[in-house]
Amino acid sequence: MKTGKVYLVGAGPGDPGLISLKGLECLKKADTIIYDRLLDEGLLDSAPPEAERIYVGKTAGKHTRPQAEINRLLVTRAREGKTVVRLKGGDPFVLGRGGEEAEVLVQNGLYFEVVPGITSAVAVPAYAGIPVTHRGLASSFAVITGHEDPGKDSSSINWEKLATGVDTLVFLMGMKNLPQIVTRLIEHGRPPDTPVAVIKDGTNPEQKTVMGSLRDIVAEVKKHRLTPPAVIIVGEVARLREKLRWFDNRPLFGKRILVTRARHQASALSQLLAERGARPIELPVIAIQAVADTDDLDQAISNLKRYHWIIFTSVNGVAAFWQRLYELKLDSRALSMLKIGVIGPATAQALEAKGIMPDYIPEVYTGEGIIAGLKKQNINGQRFLLPRADIADKELVQGIGQLGAEVHEIAIYHTVPATETIAQAKQMLLAGEIDVITFTSSSTVTNLVAAFSGEPPTINSAKIACIGPKTAETAARAGLKVAIMAREQTIPGLVATIEEYFKKEI
């Protein structure tokens, strides 16, 4: 029987972007993942859907599974011939018991590899604007457990030498023992006015930092009601936070922003929000479905030479149209005789991915913008093909028609409510857990509002952000108070406007 292999993988301190490329490669081929607390479970999405996922997280005083059982799991799954990823927060060999697990694997004659991770001892201070070393302030640092094995007869930490022998001290898992840590350091010669930083939930959008000195840090932590997990930094470098703070002073830091657009489109918006410090919450209120009856579209495709123009008003329209071309064993060459227009940059990029550069992009990325631009072109008597959603309004059709052109509108995809995630979004809104709701289409507004049975004031507890005037009009008609409307009707434009809004509040 084939013997499996265990990868001891460090996932980093919390921010999922801090895992290594090799760590992700291990996840992609895993048969079993045995994972800890304090890591972003979104990392598990990198593994095959069929991979076994076993949670073995630990909190203070409570272990989901004892270490001995974790060791047995590693051995059992590897002997079954599986590729096992032991996914650990931070680095597996920095106060992570990875060495103990490796010893067990060696004792059982099993193959293993260690994939180092970024330890919270360095990353968490960095995200708080605190370098653990700095010229003129600190040439050395030590990483110390703040929670020694309770079964030990005495402490293995040499407090006398540690207190004054190392410039920067980083304590992990030390919140419960903070008073004792402070007492020991002062007793052994560390000045009471030494700066101290205590950082909770480091590298995450919930990160919170409390500053003080050895003299008063215990009182400060109590005043701010800080709870584990936290990293404790003792040393002069902590003073640099005031100057080097970069992560938790961004305008969107910690803002919980609801992303309501369809799941396959949500990532671009979520990524931009996350880069600005927000916590995007992806709960799509719409889903995109292809139309069942494609006769009209097939007929239009077979007669493309009859048209002068084709206008795409969304990325979804481009995707649905090309899917049908593919099913009819055609490709982009079928559009070679047409002029092609798009509503904005995102739709243009989707088209360019198909190997086609659009002939026309309006200056303003709306239906009105398309019409305004076409007024400058002689389209009288020309035929337009308009493939788009079944619920699109008639403004564009009527506007082009008024310019003397003939418009053939075809519904090529449906926008339907995403019932399950709408229910989750409603629950979070009722609980006051959302700071901003983003609406990127009228259908996202309609579907979410419908879930509240005509009670928009509940939604208005969050700031309403709309991608453009049409969406904002739909929101206003539904009784919503629109606080933010993108100046440029694009996803980057929406994010930029949200950021500007909160900058004014700082």
Element (DSSP H or E) covering residue 228: none
408 and 324: one domain? yes
pLDDT of amino acid 504: 85
Catalytic option among 40, 88, 173, 211: 173
Question: 208-213 and 195-200 as β-strands: parallel, antiparallel, unpaired?
Answer: antiparallel
pLDDT, averaged in runs of 10, over the chain (506 residues): 89 94 97 89 92 85 80 96 96 95 97 97 98 97 83 78 97 95 96 98 95 98 95 98 96 95 89 93 92 95 96 95 96 94 95 95 93 94 95 92 96 92 91 95 92 73 94 93 94 96 83
Please state, in angstroms and rounded to a whole number, the distance separating the CA atoms of residues 416 and 425: 16
CATH number for position 277:
3.40.50.10090
Catalytic option among 36, 91, 201, 248: 36
323 and 261: one domain? no
pLDDT of amino acid 266: 85
Amino acid (1-letter code) at residue 261: R
405 and 427: one domain? no
- Give the number of domains in the chain: 4
pLDDT of amino acid 506: 61
349 and 293: one domain? yes
300 and 409: one domain? yes
499 and 435: one domain? yes
CB-CB contact of 88 with 6 (8 Å): no
Question: Catalytic: 481?
Answer: no
Other C-beta atoms lying within 10 Å of the C-beta of residue 266: 19
126 and 114: one domain? no
Dihedral (C-alpha) 224, 230, 236, 239: value to the nearest 10 degrees? -50
DSSP states along 74-120: HHHHHHTT-EEEEEESB-TTSSSSHHHHHHHHHHTT-EEEEE----H
Question: Catalytic: 58?
Answer: yes
| 472 token code pair | 């904002």
Residue 81: give the domain boundaries. Answer: 5-118
Q: If DSSP codes are grouped into helix, strand and coil, which group holds residue 383?
A: strand
Final residue of a structural domain among 375, 398, 416 = 416
Residue whose tokens read 């005509």: 454
pLDDT of amino acid 152: 59
Query: Hey, CA dihedral for 486, 491, 493, 496, is it positive or negative?
Result: positive
264 and 361: one domain? no
The answer to the question of residue 497 being in a domain is: yes
CB-CB contact of 366 with 470 (8 Å): yes
The answer to the question of residue 250 being in a domain is: no
pLDDT of amino acid 234: 98
320 and 411: one domain? yes
